[in-house]
């Protein structure tokens, strides 16, 4: 935790309310997000129990598995879930913009112009917490390899046609959610924690209702008291007034309400199977209705919590770099759309060495880009970097024109004498980058007088191609400037071999090791 966010937490403890950590909103919010609250069964990791979803706060739709251990009912649930979610995901595939680019011919090396499609917008799923993201990933892994009736070898239990497709989309979205700064699938607890500090621990912030309680505690209560109520208050039956946001349910709810309702459903089903005339007609349906009411009861508080969180976030002005990062999400969406259209197989169970290394490189690159862009977009984020000595704000004291005469033509290498109240980790020779220069401008620290707060920077670039700096490229004495000791554009990642060229150090091409035991994974 950085110094500033620790301070904000302490302030939140004192004020009893959430304190801002950002002046702008650092994640893209869609006009039409899909809110999705999943519940899992306590019996089996990743086994779905229910999901409440929709794009309209007033009209959530509930799907459930009346008997979570029954594979057929689970498949029916997955089919209904797929039919509900997929139209939303696919609705962004049609509207595209055309991007002009060029492609290098791998043989001749010649560049040929190409036009590529980029979807104009992409879907956005909002879930209550990180546990929900993991749960969706598990559903994706369990369904994307399911065979359907359309398969040449459908097997004894073919799944409905759209179930594997659901699995592929969920896998794509949960993978993309691992990329720092991406916004296609976001947990509300994480979104709120990025923008506000509460006076409780990061672990306690995982409880959406408790975190929200710090934002609008009821009259007369502090945030801490309201959060404790949200976590622990129970009614006279011993049920939580504010059930957890899932995907796990409260054990006491499982024991006292859910398990008996499922047992009644089982009994009604057994009675119906007993033969014609046994069991009252409509009992099974009534039991399902009871379960619906029960689950809706525990899901609706979280449903409205996610929407309240969304309202809080929408009140923040968007950060300047959001469209750029959202374009990355759009490319990701477009790419997945194209892979599906091309009939490519589902994502493999495990990444091969090259794919894993590529993903890691992408995530590290995006993390670096996110850190830089957040600092550029938000003075509070920049303040953290300044406090850490990684950037400094200064006033220009003097500008000394100087030239590098070692080459054929003299190049401008002016010295800026800067006075700063910050304490940057400024060592002589260290590279610095000016923020807010007309074009990218790099310099090197030439001298430091820490006691006087003086830093001298020799500018090396961003001053035009002539002997003297272009007008406007140099700051004037008295001007406020901002320098970063980190690079403002992330470094390109080095090229990796194609998977088929995986070297001997990493076991050779993946096709050769496909049969090794490490890759075998069994599914119930």
Partner 1 sequence: MTSTVSSVDTTAATDPGAAADAAVAAILDATVRPAPGAPRGVVVDSPPGAGKSTLVVRAAQELVGAGERLMIVAQTNSQVDDLVDRLASKAPELTIGRLHAADTPPTAEAVRHPNVTASAKPGDLLALDAVISTAAKWQWVRDVEPWRHAIVDEAYQMRSDALLAVARLFERALFVGDPGQLDPFTVVGTEQWSGLSHDPSSSAVVTLLAHNPAIRPHRLPVSWRLPASAAPLVSEAFYPYTPFHAGTGPGDRLLLPGGRADGSAVDAAIDEAAEYGWALLELPARYTVRTDPQAVAAVAATVRRLLDRGVLAVSEQGRRPLTAERIAVGTAHRDQAAAVRAALLELGVPVDATTGPAVAVDTANRLQGREYDVTVVLHPLSGRHDATAFHLETGRLCVLASRHRHACIVVARAGIAELLDEHPATDPVQLGSAVRIPQGWEERIGGEVIPLLERVGAQFPDGWEANHRVLAELAEHRVRL
5 binds partner 1 (CB under 8 A): no
Cβ atoms of 499 and 356 within 8 Å: the answer is: no
3-state secondary structure string, 83-111? HHHHHHHHCCCCCEEEEEEEEECCCCCCE
Q: Can you tell me the distance from the alpha carbon of 520 to that of 510, in angstroms, rounded to the nearest whole number?
A: 13
86 binds partner 1 (CB under 8 A): no
Please identify which residue in 76, 121, 254, 351 interacts with partner 1, judged by CB under 8 A: 351
Please identify which residue in 147, 363, 419, 430 interacts with partner 1, judged by CB under 8 A: 363
Please identify which residue in 260, 282, 477, 503 interacts with partner 1, judged by CB under 8 A: 503
241 binds partner 1 (CB under 8 A): no
The CA-based diameter of the chain, rounded to the nearest angstrom, is: 103
464 binds partner 1 (CB under 8 A): no
**Which residue, 371 or 378, has its beta carbon nearer to partner 1?**
371
204 binds partner 1 (CB under 8 A): no
Quote the Cα angle for 511-515-521, to 5°. Answer: 115
Stretch of 161-169, 183-191, 410-418, 493-501 lying at the interface with partner 1 (CB under 8 A): 493-501
364 binds partner 1 (CB under 8 A): yes
Cβ atoms of 494 and 344 within 8 Å: the answer is: no
Please identify which residue in 95, 315, 342, 518 interacts with partner 1, judged by CB under 8 A: 518
Residues touching partner 1, count (CB under 8 A): 29
Q: Give me the least distance between CB of 499 and partner 1, in Å please.
A: 11
Cβ atoms of 390 and 4 within 8 Å: the answer is: no
Q: Can you tell me the distance from the alpha carbon of 407 to that of 105, in angstroms, rounded to the nearest whole number?
A: 37
Which of 243, 240, 246, 208 has its CA nearest to residue 227?
Answer: 208
Cβ-proximal residues to 271 (8 Å cutoff; 6+ apart), any chain: 278, 279, 283
Please identify which residue in 233, 356, 440, 450 interacts with partner 1, judged by CB under 8 A: 356
Please identify which residue in 315, 494, 515, 522 interacts with partner 1, judged by CB under 8 A: 494
4 binds partner 1 (CB under 8 A): no
Helix (H) or strand (E) holding 160: none
**Which residue, 7 or 288, has its beta carbon nearer to partner 1?**
7
Q: Give me the least distance between CB of 492 and partner 1, in Å please.
A: 9
Cβ-proximal residues to 14 (8 Å cutoff; 6+ apart), any chain: 199
Please identify which residue in 497, 500, 511, 514 interacts with partner 1, judged by CB under 8 A: 497
The partner residues of 448 in beta bridges, in order of sequence, read 455
Cβ-proximal residues to 51 (8 Å cutoff; 6+ apart), any chain: 36, 37, 38, 39, 62, 63, 64, 81
x/- track of binding to partner 1 for residues 421-460 (CB under 8 A): ----------x-----------------------------
Please identify which residue in 73, 118, 361, 397 interacts with partner 1, judged by CB under 8 A: 361
Q: Give me the least distance between CB of 391 and partner 1, in Å please.
A: 17
282, with CB counted inside 10 A (0-12, 13-18, 19+), is: exposed
Q: Can you tell me the distance from the alpha carbon of 189 to that of 210, in angstroms, rounded to the nearest whole number?
A: 10
CA dihedral 251→253→255→258, nearest 10 degrees, is -130
**Which residue, 293 or 512, has its beta carbon nearer to partner 1?**
512
**Which residue, 175 or 329, has its beta carbon nearer to partner 1?**
175
**Which residue, 264 or 506, has its beta carbon nearer to partner 1?**
506
**Which residue, 83 or 364, has its beta carbon nearer to partner 1?**
364
| 8-state DSSP, 507 | T
x/- track of binding to partner 1 for residues 331-350 (CB under 8 A): -------------------x
130 binds partner 1 (CB under 8 A): no
Q: Give me the least distance between CB of 359 and partner 1, in Å please.
A: 8
What tokens does 253 get? 């709810």
Cβ atoms of 185 and 104 within 8 Å: the answer is: no
**Which residue, 162 or 385, has its beta carbon nearer to partner 1?**
385
316 binds partner 1 (CB under 8 A): no
Cβ atoms of 331 and 118 within 8 Å: the answer is: yes
Site for partner 1 in 57-76 (CB under 8 A): none
Q: Give me the least distance between CB of 468 and partner 1, in Å please.
A: 24
Please identify which residue in 110, 156, 504, 522 interacts with partner 1, judged by CB under 8 A: 504
Residue 16's Cβ-side half-sphere holds a number of Cα atoms within 13 Å equal to: 11
Which residues of the chain form contacts with partner 1 (CB under 8 A)? 178, 180, 350-354, 356-357, 359-361, 363-364, 367, 431, 494-497, 501-508, 518
């Amino acid at each position: 935790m950085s110094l500033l966010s620790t301070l904000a937490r302490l302030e939140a403890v004192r004020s009893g309310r959430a304190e801002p950590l950002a002046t702008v909103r650092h994640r893209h919010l869609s006009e039409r997000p899909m809110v999705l609250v999943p519940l899992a069964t306590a019996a089996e990791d990743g086994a779905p129990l229910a999901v409440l979803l929709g794009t309209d706060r007033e009209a959530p739709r509930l799907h459930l598995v009346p008997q979570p251990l029954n594979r057929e009912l689970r498949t029916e649930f997955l089919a209904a879930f797929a039919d509900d979610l997929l139209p939303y995901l696919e609705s962004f595939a049609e509207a595209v913009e055309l991007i002009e680019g060029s492609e290098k011919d791998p043989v001749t090396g010649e560049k040929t112009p190409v036009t590529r499609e980029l979807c104009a917008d992409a879907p956005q799923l909002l879930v209550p917490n990180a546990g929900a993201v993991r749960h969706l990933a598990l559903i994706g892994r369990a369904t994307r390899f399911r065979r359907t009736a359309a398969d040449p070898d459908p097997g004894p239990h073919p799944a409905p046609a759209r179930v594997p497709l659901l699995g592929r989309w969920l896998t794509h979205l949960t993978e993309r959610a691992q990329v720092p700064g991406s916004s296609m699938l976001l947990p509300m607890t994480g979104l709120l924690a990025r923008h506000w500090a509460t006076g409780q621990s990061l672990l306690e912030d995982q409880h959406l209702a408790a975190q929200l309680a710090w934002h609008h505690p009821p009259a007369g209560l502090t945030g801490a008291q309201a959060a404790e109520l949200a976590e622990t208050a129970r009614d006279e039956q011993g049920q939580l007034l504010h059930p957890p946001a899932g995907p796990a349910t409260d054990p006491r709810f499982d024991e006292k309400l859910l398990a008996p309702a499922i047992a009644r459903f089982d009994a009604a089903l057994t009675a119906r199977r007993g033969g014609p005339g046994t069991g009252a007609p409509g009992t099974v349906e009534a039991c399902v209705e009871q379960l619906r009411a029960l689950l809706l009861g525990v899901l609706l508080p979280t449903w409205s919590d996610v929407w309240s969180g969304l309202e809080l976030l929408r009140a923040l002005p968007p950060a300047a770099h959001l469209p750029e990062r959202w374009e990355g999400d759009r490319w990701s969406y477009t790419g997945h759309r194209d892979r599906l259209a091309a009939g490519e197989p589902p994502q493999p169970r495990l990444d091969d060495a090259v794919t894993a290394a590529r993903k890691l490189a992408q995530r590290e690159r995006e993390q670096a880009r996110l850190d830089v862009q957040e600092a550029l977009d938000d003075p509070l984020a920049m303040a953290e970097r300044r406090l850490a000595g990684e950037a400094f704000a200064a006033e220009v004291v003097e500008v000394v024109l100087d030239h590098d005469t070692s080459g054929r033509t003299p190049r401008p290498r002016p010295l800026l004498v800067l006075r700063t109240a910050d304490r940057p980790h400024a060592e002589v020779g260290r590279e610095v980058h000016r923020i807010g220069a007309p074009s990218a401008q790099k310099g090197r620290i030439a001298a430091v007088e820490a006691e006087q707060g003086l830093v001298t920077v020799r500018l090396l670039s961003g001053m035009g191609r002539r002997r003297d700096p272009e007008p406007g490229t140099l700051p004037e004495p008295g001007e406020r400037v901002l320098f970063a000791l980190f690079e403002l554009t992330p470094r390109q990642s080095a090229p990796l071999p194609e998977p088929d060229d995986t070297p001997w150090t990493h076991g050779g091409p993946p096709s050769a090791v496909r049969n090794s035991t490490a890759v075998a994974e069994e599914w119930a």
